[in-house]
Structure 1
Amino acid sequence: MTDDIYSTVAERASAAFEVQGSEFIGHAAPVPDVAEAEAFVDAVSDEYEDATHNVPAYRVRADPFREYSSDDGEPTGSAGKPALNVLQQRDVENVAVVVTRYYGGTNLGVGGLARAYSKAVKDAVDEAGIVERRPHESVSVTVDYDDSGTVRGIVESADVEFEAEYEEEVTLEMRVPVAEAADLRDRIRSATSGRARIE
């Protein structure tokens, strides 16, 4: 698991087209982990349970990195692998796709299927849009009011997303890029002489 910038899809999207009477619907979604990827695959398969095939593929930044695809009853290598190949060629991660096919009565052959499944994934990814993301982690800092201004200043200068709650103490909840989290914790610790409680 690296802390570098990676590309993924911006939002859920789908795209449909027909080839010789068969309807293909590509679905794409950003997913944070394998469990969410599988939940998305299950949700699409449930929604389109009357389809002839629901072919899944995903690439997820995990430890170790996970790639998965299935032909879901199509001839071996004609569906899942072409779908996964598109994700690899676009170099997108934390993405799950499902291609739904309603059979139209004409056999497309392995080459025709591979082209159709690839196109369905390409169209869905294009529809969703590709964005760059950095892995983030959540950091929670709790301080007394005396230290809150100092800590808030550090957090604001670090340009990270945060929310502050003012109760008996002040708690700041932040989303910090993984690559910068250790440095930010150190700066807060030294600025408050270790009084800040950091989780």
Structure 2
Amino acid sequence: MTDEYVTVAGEGHASFGDRGSEFVGYVTGAASEEEAQGFVDDVRDGHPDATHHVSAYRVRDAGTVRGIYDDDGEPSGSAGKPVLGVLRGECTENVVCVVVRYYGGTKLGYGGLVTAYSRTAKRALEDAGTRKTVPRDEVRVEVGYDDSGTVRDVLESEDVGYDAEYGEKVVLVARIPTGRADGVVDRLLSATSGRARIER
């Protein structure tokens, strides 16, 4: 697996109708299964009267990508699986999609469901847009004021953005590309002669 991957650029929304049934799709980014499930719950709460709330997500977990789907009462493999297939087919990661269905009174059949759910998911994903990114580690660096300039210099030389809080100590929180995090941490410890307190 390469360090660079594709995720969504923002939130997406789309709708699709077939023989009276209405399908409404939502897509957003999710950095964990908890975030993805939280989005599914939010969409479910926003459409309490929908017949089905079908979902799928792909999130990175310890260097691998987990793909999860839920048919939510539709025939097995006819709904969540094709939605997951869209996410996988577009090579997107850290993304979640929910498609809600309002049943219109006419059964669509297995093939009709696959088409409706995948088409709605694809339109929502297209609406969200995609971007390339790299996995990052959040690194928290706590130092005294005397070392804070040194830490900022190291982070800026590595082209790493950070947020700083100034209290009794200086706390800098940086999001460092995972493949470079060990090297940056070593540089920070070396530059401060081990005085920096670093948490990842």
TM-score (norm. length: structure 1): 0.91
Deviation digits for residues 74-96 of structure 1 (CA, Å, limit 9, x no counterpart): 22221111111111101111111
Structure 1: runs of 5+ lacking an equivalent: none
Q: Is the 8 A contact 2:164 2:172 kept in 1?
A: yes
1:20–1:172 distance in 2 versus 1, CA, 3 Å: same
- Could you say which residue in structure 1 is the equivalent of 2:147? 147
Q: Is the 8 A contact 2:4 2:133 kept in 1?
A: yes
Deviation digits for residues 83-123 of structure 1 (CA, Å, limit 9, x no counterpart): 11111101111111111111112222111111110001001
- For 2:16, give the aligned amino acid: F
1:157–1:103 distance in 2 versus 1, CA, 3 Å: same
Structure 2: runs of 5+ lacking an equivalent: none
Q: Secondary structure at the match of 2:92?
A: coil
Q: Is the 8 A contact 1:58 1:84 kept in 2?
A: yes
1:71–1:171 distance in 2 versus 1, CA, 3 Å: closer
Q: Secondary structure at the match of 1:61?
A: strand
1:77–1:140 distance in 2 versus 1, CA, 3 Å: closer
- Could you say which residue in structure 2 is the equivalent of 1:106? 106
Q: How does 1:116-195 map to 2 (within 5 A)?
A: 116-195=116-195
CA distance in 1, matches of 2:143, 2:77: 57
- Could you say which residue in structure 1 is the equivalent of 2:91? 91
CA-CA distance at 1:148 after TM superposition: 2.6
- Could you say which residue in structure 1 is the equivalent of 2:14? 15
Q: Is the 8 A contact 2:57 2:96 kept in 1?
A: yes
- Could you say which residue in structure 2 is the equivalent of 1:25? 24
Q: Is the 8 A contact 1:142 1:196 kept in 2?
A: yes
- Could you say which residue in structure 1 is the equivalent of 2:196? 196
CA-CA distance at 1:135 after TM superposition: 1.4
TM-score (norm. length: structure 2): 0.91
Q: How does 1:25-64 map to 2 (within 5 A)?
A: 25-63=24-62
- For 1:34, give the aligned amino acid: E
Q: Is the 8 A contact 1:162 1:172 kept in 2?
A: yes
Coordinate RMSD, CA, aligned: 1.7
Q: Is the 8 A contact 2:65 2:93 kept in 1?
A: no
Q: Is the 8 A contact 1:6 1:93 kept in 2?
A: yes
CA distance in 1, matches of 2:7, 2:179: 18
- For 1:181, give the aligned amino acid: A
Q: Secondary structure at the match of 2:22?
A: strand
CA distance in 1, matches of 2:123, 2:98: 12
Q: Secondary structure at the match of 1:65?
A: strand
Moved more, 116-125 or 62-71: 62-71
